[in-house]
């Protein structure tokens, strides 16, 4: 009977003995967890823009909506044809706005009270957004769109086609900044910098471009518009957790 009980006890203990041992805790050489500290770093990379985005269009007014639309359509057809003849691809020309709005007049009665608003005409707006990939043509395109009928330019913005390479450079600089700070603090505290335990990429919002001012163009001389594209900056941030070496 004792033999049978011993066999049953060994059999019931077998699954527990077969389970893998839990991983050892991450302790230092003396059985203690290593001390950690966190440092943030920032990096900035600069690049000249190589793309321009232009928003331009035609605004027409007439006594009736039909007359305003017909005049606007004729002017826009001429404008689009001019843009395509400038070497722009169709994929880079897109209609971005269209509206037909009545124009109201608000008059006062002889007794000083307000009359009901009256429609005195109609206004039609049609705008296109154009992406210029060859900035050498930008000045000429600006001149041409006004010459060929555009009487409204809502904005001009510059961009970088390959932001990834510029962002990667900013990220490298951000980590270098974090490492330099960590080494400085470690030296000041009289400790040694250990291995990296955690690294987090902090997304930094790009700087907002200046808000374009709306311009109404009447006539333009036959000369390319001077354009200065300047330089754009892209920022990156990183947070790094280091061990303090024993």
State the pLDDT at residue 108: 82
| Domain range list for the chain | 26-47+162-207+232-246, 51-159
Whether domain 51-159 has CATH 3.30.70.2970: the reply is yes
State the pLDDT at residue 232: 87
Confidence class for position 30, pLDDT limits 50, 70, 90: low
State the pLDDT at residue 13: 41
Angstrom CA distances, 200 to 172, 180, 195, 237, stand at: 13, 17, 15, 9
Average pLDDT over residues 12-22: 42
**The pTM is what?**
0.63
Average pLDDT over residues 124-146: 92
State the pLDDT at residue 18: 40
Average pLDDT over residues 89-103: 94
Average pLDDT, the chain: 81
Residue 207 has pLDDT above 70, yes or no: no
Crossing angle for the helix pair 138-147 and 65-85, to the nearest 10 degrees: 150
State the pLDDT at residue 208: 42
In whole angstroms, what is the distance from residue 152 CA to residue 218 CA? 9
To the nearest 10°, report the CA torsion of 175, 179, 182, 184: -130
φ/ψ of 165, rounded to 5, equals -65, -35
The answer to whether the CB of 53 falls within 8 A of the CB of 156 is: yes
The answer to whether the CB of 212 falls within 8 A of the CB of 174 is: no
State the pLDDT at residue 112: 76
Fold for 26-47+162-207+232-246, please state it.
Translation Initiation Factor IF3 (3.30.110)
Residue 71 has pLDDT above 90, yes or no: yes
Q: What is the largest CA-CA distance in the chain?
A: 122
Confidence class for position 227, pLDDT limits 50, 70, 90: confident
State the pLDDT at residue 17: 37
What percent of the chain has a predicted confidence (pLDDT) above 70? 78
Average pLDDT over residues 51-69: 95
Residue 129 has pLDDT above 50, yes or no: yes
């Amino acid at each position: 009977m004792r033999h049978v009980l011993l066999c049953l006890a060994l059999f019931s203990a077998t699954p527990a003995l077969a389970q893998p041992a839990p991983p050892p805790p991450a302790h230092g050489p003396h059985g203690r967890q290593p001390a950690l500290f966190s440092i943030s770093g920032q990096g900035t990379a600069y690049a000249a823009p190589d793309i321009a985005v232009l928003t331009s269009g035609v605004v027409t007014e007439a006594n009736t909506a039909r007359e305003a639309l017909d005049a606007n359509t004729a002017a826009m057809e001429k404008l689009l044809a001019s843009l395509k003849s400038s070497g722009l691809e169709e994929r880079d020309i897109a209609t971005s706005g269209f509206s037909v709005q009545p124009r109201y007049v608000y008059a006062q009665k002889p007794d000083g009270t307000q009359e009901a608003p009256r429609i005195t005409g109609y206004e039609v707006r049609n705008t296109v957004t154009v992406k210029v990939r060859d900035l050498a043509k930008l000045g000429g395109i600006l001149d041409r769109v006004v010459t060929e009928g555009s009487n409204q330019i809502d904005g001009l913005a510059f961009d970088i086609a390959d932001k990834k390479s510029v962002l990667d450079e900013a990220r490298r600089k951000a980590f270098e900044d974090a490492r330099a700070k960590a080494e400085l603090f470690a030296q000041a505290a009289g400790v040694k910098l250990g291995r990296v335990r955690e690294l987090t990429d902090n997304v930094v919002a790009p700087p907002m471009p200046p808000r374009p001012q709306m311009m109404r163009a009447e006539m333009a001389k036959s000369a390319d518009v001077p354009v200065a594209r300047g330089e754009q900056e892209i920022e990156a941030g990183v947070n790094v957790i280091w061990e303090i070496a024993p």
